[in-house]
Amino acid sequence: MNANISEQAHAAQIEEVLQELEAPQDGLTREEAAARLETFGPNTLPKKKELHPILRFLSHFNNILIYVLIGAGVVTALLGHWIDTWIILAVVVVNALIGYIQEGKAEKALQAVENMLSLHAHVMRDGDTRQIDAAKLVPGDIILLSAGDKVPSDARVIESAALQTNEASLTGESEPVSKQKEPSHMDASLGDRKSMVYSGTLLTSGQGRAVVTATGRHTELGKINTMLSEVEVLKTPLLRQVGQFGTRLTLVILALGVITLAGGYFIGGMDAVELFMAVVGIAVASIPEGLPAIMTITLAMGVQRMASRHAIIRKLPGVETLGSVTVICSDKTGTLTKSEMTVTSLVLSDAAYRISGTGYAPEGSFTEVKDLSDEQGHETDPAQREQLMHLLSASVLCNDARLRDSSDGWTIEGSPTEGAFLTAAGKADIWLHDLHKHIPRTAVLPFSSEYKFMAVCSDLTSSSRPLPGAQDQDSLMFVKGAPEVIFSRCTGEVTSDGSSVDFRRSRWEQQARQLAETGHRVLAVARGKAPAKTEELTPDDVGKDLTILGIAGIIDPPREEAIAAVKICREAGIRVKMITGDHGLTALAVASQLGIGDGKRVITGDQLQSMSDEEISREVLYTDVFARVTPKHKLRLVTALQNHGSITAMTGDGVNDAPALKKADIGIAMGIKGTEAAKEAAEMVLADDNFASIAHAVEEGRTVYDNLKKSLLFILPTNGGEAMIIIASILFGLVLPITPAQILWVNMVTAVTLALA
């Protein structure tokens, strides 16, 4: 059996995959499955060995300044000065406790990824269907898929009946992905591999069968888990600076100690014990023992202020990191945009309309224009435009989504794209429940990736009110789908005065292309004669003589507050980059509206895949929009930015973002739509999933960073003054004016309180 088929399964024919995996159509035998389980191991993710809590606590003593203090404590103990010893050790332990308590819990990110795995799977074994523990799945198993299930492993689709999956957590693609049995292109990115289903993703509709190609750590989810466990967590900029400062200070302390010992012994003729205590005093005086306490308290105050502005800090050092950020790498969907698909344009036979309002709230107006390139227009009442009302009514009748008004605002149940049509119709006072009550459906053909359209038959004879634009019809079939498919079945179109003309395909294709080039998803709506028997529709019932009603441009619009926040970041010297799993044209269009990039330059995942690390390192300086990227690409981009010395913030919401979130100087997860894996890998969580909150948090972070620098500038002269007094006393042969215990008291109490003030 060739287990390497998992890398090319998306591009291979079904027969080839089954042959390579030695997978019979009626499933493996129990004996064969047991043998493969022994070979490939369980379908689980490997667990990382966690550090024992005691060892984690002891790791906080691994600091060069702490070594100096411990050394001073040992010297005072040998000299019998136990009060000094216990005070020094108490300070050391308190500092370690503070560090241990504020330490992040990034290891939980791995556990959160593991929790995404399905617990059970429906599989063919010995010719029968049975439910088994998903951990016992092996390559070559035939699994059964149905709506509502979580995909238990990576698998090649061999049968699909309107099968769709939500892969947002894995690819960043917000729209459900239709699955098919036909092979995908060999170079297709993860989000475009429509012949595959992936472990941990959710089946949103339809049914199907698939053959398992990879399990456990070999799945795409497993690869992310491996990346997550291997990512080295960088220290924050301030902690790096404090570490460098500690090394230099230690060298200065040692030099001063040696000079003082020599001077006191040979010049001052001091007693050895008294001289050693003086050197201990110099060491204790020079080390800013109160610094950890000041840092912790200052950061905690920053955390409180940020929480009031929807930014929740999970790890204290992340507060000051925000103040140092020079680049923000942001996801598009839900962060820079509302993650709510919106119909913004409608094109009819001899008119076009722009629709205002964003999101699912049915609030907005219609502006009539001659065509999409026309910047001038006038607001119009849709009720006075019969063909516009006909198009909107048809899009509602040919629709399986539901628009709900709840305490949390307007929400959609079902496909976001279909929901966008319901919202557009609601702005014209057309409602699904009202239409269905007056115009019942008689048959439905659900959307499928195979024929790329949805169709319904509606009975107009029992309608208590006429359907605009179809008053003389008894029944009609309404079709909604991909423009190229609908256009190929159209022969006519209807003008605004109700007269029929021949279908002008080139004109419609040009309008659809114009919408697509501005990042819109384009769908066409048409009507046709209902077949004689309408109990059940088939694709063949949708004939070649449809009448086009119009096309719609749909986009996930940018947040208005995000546009302002990007501008603020740019003015503050922070560069914003969009790194998304969405398509290149869509990413570029949204980026242009947000003010990110030059409106022309975009690099896709396929291009990144062929680039070396050196090429990416060059490109990342000039390019601000990256589309169709994979988790590995995000990691490479963040690493490239850090190699240039950039302090990088990375936003994300899916498990695919977790490695990059952990690698970034500060990871920012979405609080509402983010997965647990993303939240656990991040230092900060946005309570409102809004990019504008990042700008506010950076502002607070800069204040905290400034306060910490002020505290250091206050403490160091104080400590230096204490050390110089002792050195001067030794050189001039005077009695030591202050003991090590007194110095510690001054440093921990007086210096801390004054520095905080």
> What residues are annotated to the active site?
331
* Cα–Cα dist 389/383, whole Å: 7
> 480: which strand partners?
454, 525
d(CA 475, CA 743): 93
**Alpha-carbon distance values, 617 to 463, 584, 630, 637, 638 (Å):** 64, 20, 17, 8, 10
Write down the residue that tokens 């606590």 correspond to. 57
Beta strands in 111-153 (DSSP E): 120-125, 128-133, 142-146
CB 661 within 8 A of CB 681: yes
The CA-based dihedral angle spanning residues 111, 114, 118, 123, taken in that order and rounded to the nearest 10 degrees: -150
CA angle 534, 540, 546 (to 5 degrees): 80
> Whole-angstrom Cα distance, residue 662 to residue 229?
10
For the chain, the farthest-separated pair of C-alpha atoms sits apart, in whole angstroms, at 118
Residue with tokens 């309570």: 687
Comparing CA positions, the residue from 165, 209, 149, 279 lying closest to residue 25 is 209
Would you tell me the crossing angle of helices 584-594 and 560-571 to the nearest 10 degrees? Answer: 70
With a CB cutoff of 8 Å and minimum separation 6, the contacts of 618 are none
CA dist 174 and 166 (Å) reads 8
Side-chain-side CA neighbours of 347 within 13 Å: the count stands at: 23
**Nearest residue to 330 (alpha-carbon basis) of 731, 723, 689:** 689
Residues in the chain: 757
Locate 554 and state its tokens: 């749909």
| The two three-digit tokens of residue 326, written as one number | 């020079």
Map 599-663 to HEC letters.
CCCCEEHHHHHCCCHHHHHHHHHHCCEEECCCHHHHHHHHHHHHHCCCCEEEEECCHHHHHHHHH
The residues, any chain, with a CB within 8 Å of residue 47's CB and separated by 6 or more, are 110, 114
Q: What is the dihedral of CA 497, 503, 509, 515, to 10 degrees?
A: 20
Phi-psi label, residue 277: left if phi above 0, alpha if psi -120 to 50, beta otherwise: alpha
Amino acid at 658: A
Which long-range contacts (C-beta less than 8 Å, at least 24 apart) are formed by 665-672? Answer: 665/234, 665/236, 665/237, 665/321, 665/324, 665/325, 666/236, 666/318, 666/321, 666/322, 666/325, 668/694, 670/334, 670/335, 671/312, 672/334
**655 token code pair:** 């498990």
Give Cβ neighbours of residue 241 (< 8 Å, ≥ 6 apart): none
CB 184 within 8 A of CB 11: yes
Compute the 3-state secondary structure of the chain and give helix, strand, coil in percent, each to the nearest 5. Answer: 45, 20, 35
Closest C-alpha to 376, from 384, 367, 385: 367
Distance of alpha carbon 343 from alpha carbon 350, whole angstroms: 19
Q: Whole-angstrom Cα distance, residue 749 to residue 757?
A: 12
